[in-house]
Every structure is written in structure tokens, then in C-alpha cells.
Amino acid sequence: MQDQRMADSEKDLIKRVTSLSSGRIGVPCRDFERVLKEFPMKSISVHACLEISDFASNQLGHWSSEFKFSLAEAPNTDARTEMESWQAVSAGLLESLKALAPSASQQIEQKHSLIVLQHTLKRAAKYNESTVLRKFRATALSKMSFILNSVGFSGLASRMYSSALYPKGTRGRNL
């Protein structure tokens, strides 16, 4: 009986967390934290923790993309604040998840990174599709950056890849 109540509680938590977005892409971190505080997190299952962590990773990806694609001269400070808040929340959730499933730590980190990165990649692809030249340039710089990284020029490769991903004059290009 207690297991069933716990399962129902987890389902309710997941439902509440996912309903936060209600059609919006970016969810304020404080709303998410308020929902989490209403539920006992001491005995949460790996499955529930993974779903909640994925939600947080998705939000981090969104806010990170919003900030990095904002103008360097006028950065989106709201996005930066949200990104930093989601980074902290995501880090805590990832640590909890890795403690629940230590043998899957590497896969958990990888999944988190991919979820976060997908927002930047989608936005960059959309930007680069506006002209053939942008698309060609992004592809060429991306491939060159992988080659440079493989021969030990990681700093140059990173700057080149940022140039492929982010438009000129954005925070992502200047980081």
C-alpha cells in the first residue's frame, strides 16, 4: 500500500513538473523549485529522478541557448540568471541520480549534455539555413574544428566551433 502511494506521489510530481511548461519553452527555475519543495524527495525512484532531471536539462538547454544567442553588447540578463539557476538545479539532480544509479553515471552525464546541446544545435541550424553561404561556412568550420581538436589544438578548435555555432556579435561567440 505504501509503495502504491509513493508511486502515485511520484506520478503526481512528474505530472506537476511537466505541466509547468504548459506550452511554453522556458520555465522559470523558481516555479520548478516550488513544485519540488512540495514533494518528499528522500525516497524517489531512479525513473522519477531521471524524468525530473531530463526536464531540468531541457530547461537549462533552452536558457543557455537564449543567453548565448543574445547580443554580446546587450546580453539577455534574464536568460543568464535562469541559465545559472538551472545549472545549479541540474547539477544537484544529476548528483542525486548518479547516487541512485552509480553504474550509469557516464550515460547520465552524456544524456544531460546531449539534451542541453540540442537547443543550441537547433537554433544554430535554423540560423545557418537562412543562406547557403552560412550553411557551408558552419559545416566547414565544424569539420575543421574536429580535425584541429584531434591533432591537439583544442583551444583553436573550440573557438572555431563556437564561430560555426553562434552568429557574429552574440554571447556564445564571445565566451
Claim to verify: residue 20 and residue 9 sit in the same structural domain = yes
pLDDT above 80: residue 165? yes
Of 68-82, 105-119, 140-154, the one with minimum mean pLDDT is 140-154
Claim to verify: residue 124 and residue 136 sit in the same structural domain = no
pLDDT of residue 4: 55
Mean pLDDT, residues 6-19 taken together: 81
Residues contacting 160, CB < 8 A, separation 6+: 141, 144, 145, 148
Task: Give the count of domains, the chain.
Answer: 2
Domain end (from 91, 112, 128): 128
pLDDT of residue 5: 53
Mean pLDDT, residues 43-51 taken together: 85
Name the pTM for this structure: 0.85
Q: Using only the alpha carbons of the chain, give its radius of gyration.
A: 19
Claim to verify: residue 86 and residue 100 sit in the same structural domain = yes
Domain that holds residue 156: 131-175
* DSSP alpha helix (H) spans, the chain: 2-19, 29-37, 46-68, 77-100, 105-128, 132-150, 154-165, 171-174
pLDDT above 90: residue 12? no
Claim to verify: residue 74 and residue 108 sit in the same structural domain = yes
Strand, helix or coil for residue 39: coil
Interval 70-88: pLDDT, tens: 999 999 999 999 999 999 9
Angle, CA 101 vertex, CA 48 and CA 91 arms, to 5° = 70
Decide if 165 contacts 124 (C-beta within 8 A): yes
Which amino acid appears at position 143 of this protein? K
